[in-house]
Amino acid sequence: MKYAKRIAAILSLSLSLVLTGCSSDGSTMTADEISSYPNETIEFIVPAAAGALIDIPTRSVVELLNKSTDSQSVVVNMSGASQITGTAEAFNRGGTGYTVLTCAPAGVMLQPLMVELSYSIEDFRHIALLTPGDVNVVVTNSTSELTTWEALVEKIESGERLTWSASNQGGMGHLAALQVLNELGLEAEFIPFSGSSEGIAALLGDHIDFYVTDRSDAVPRVESGQINALLTLSDTATSDLPDVPAGDDIGVYGMECFIGYYSLAVHKDTPDEVVDYLKTNIDLALQTEEYQAYLDSANFDSVPILTEEEVTDILLSESQELEKIIANLQFTVEE
């Protein structure tokens, strides 16, 4: 599915943003350390378990970096607290140049809007998009009697208690589904799990009634007959799920702010020379045939190669929109 227009629209806005993450005045690296960079292993922190949706593209990039550069990079998985654990660790390490954070909306964008944390989205320099953007889908087990969105709504309105979950508590899919339920005056009980693997297992095991997952995860499961896709949490239907209704079809509008981007970031105090090295080599990796093969397998278009300022504009723009929505939902996340 194509989000080029969405990205172009955001970048065309004349936003007067103060990009506090673009200063390296607070770096603890000496001139000698900068000139000899990199001479240690670079750790890519993924704030989720191995095999999670944000883990896979990171491993693809790290593998390509190890092939194309003299430096050594590794993936370090730090799951927990809806991505707060790994994100906070990356922040706490400071601008040493040897920690890169894989960002998904939950940890770096949404959690700081709902929980008092030591970091915010502006405490990182956002250097590259890993994916061009994705939306979420409401799904049920293929054995469920709830095979359409209308059937799910009817069941809730009948007074029956339904349970559901999402790939991340407080993540983009969770909030998008809450927005739809809130707009339609529907209530269902949210059951938190520690990650997407546990959540989808609960759905397939009939322990919950419906689930919210990324479209890139939903499409192959629909095609294999594992799940039913009931509702796409965007304004309009996607090309790979053309018969699945979306927000406009059910009278819920303004869902485009729930597009989720996976990206790479470093601490705001990382020196410019180090950021230039990382960004140059990451951008080259993103343009390889090998990475394009991954995107194709995950039902993504090519990832746009953007400047640090452009990536930051996209993420900050979404953060500002989501802050208003969260305030209206009066949403809090369990710590």
Domain boundary assignment for the chain: 4-133+260-329, 136-257
d(Cα 107, Cα 301) in Å, to the nearest integer? 24
pLDDT of amino acid 220 = 94
**Token pair for 140:** 């049920």
- Cβ neighbours for 270, distance < 8 A, ≥ 6 positions apart: 24, 27, 95, 96, 97, 125
The CA R_g of the chain, rounded to the nearest whole Å, is 20
Q: Which helix (H) or strand (E) holds 44?
A: strand 42-46
CATH level 3 topology of 136-257:
D-Maltodextrin-Binding Protein; domain 2 (3.40.190)
Q: Low-confidence residues of the chain, pLDDT below 70?
A: 1-27, 330-335
> Nearest CA to 164 among 122, 125, 129, 193?
193
Topology annotation, domain 4-133+260-329:
D-Maltodextrin-Binding Protein; domain 2 (3.40.190)
Q: Which helix (H) or strand (E) holds 140?
A: strand 136-141
The pLDDT of residue 157: 97
Percent of the chain with pLDDT over 90: 79
Q: What is the pLDDT of residue 174?
A: 93
Q: What is d(CA 331, CA 57) in angstroms, rounded to the nearest whole number?
A: 30
Task: State the pairing for strand pair 163-166/210-214.
Answer: parallel
Token pair 């654990």: residue:
85
Q: Which residue has the tokens 């938190």?
A: 192
**Tell me, what's the pLDDT at 328?**
83
Burial (CB < 10 A; 0-12, 13-18, 19+), residue 25, is: exposed
Distances (CA, A) of 82 to 111, 167, 197: 8, 9, 13
Report in angstroms the alpha-carbon separations of 292 from 54, 117, 160: 16, 36, 45
In the prediction, which pLDDT does 22 show? 37
What pLDDT does residue 331 have? 56
- How big is the CA angle at 327 (ends 7 and 262), to the nearest 5 degrees? 30
pTM: 0.82
The predicted structure's pLDDT at residue 16: 30
The SS3 of residue 188 is: coil
DSSP string, 67-127: HHSSS-EEEEE---TTTHHHHHHHHHT-S-SSEEEEE-HIIIIIHHHHS--S--GGGEEEE
DSSP state of 238: B
Phi, psi of 116 (to 5 degrees): -75, 115
Picking from 289, 308, 305, 309, the residue whose alpha carbon sits closest to that of residue 297 is 289
State how far the alpha carbon of 215 is from the alpha carbons of 38, 44, 116, 220, 244, in Å: 37, 25, 30, 9, 11
Same-fold call for 4-133+260-329 versus 136-257:
yes
* pLDDT averaged over every residue in the chain: 89
CA 257 to CA 323: how far, in whole Å?
Answer: 11
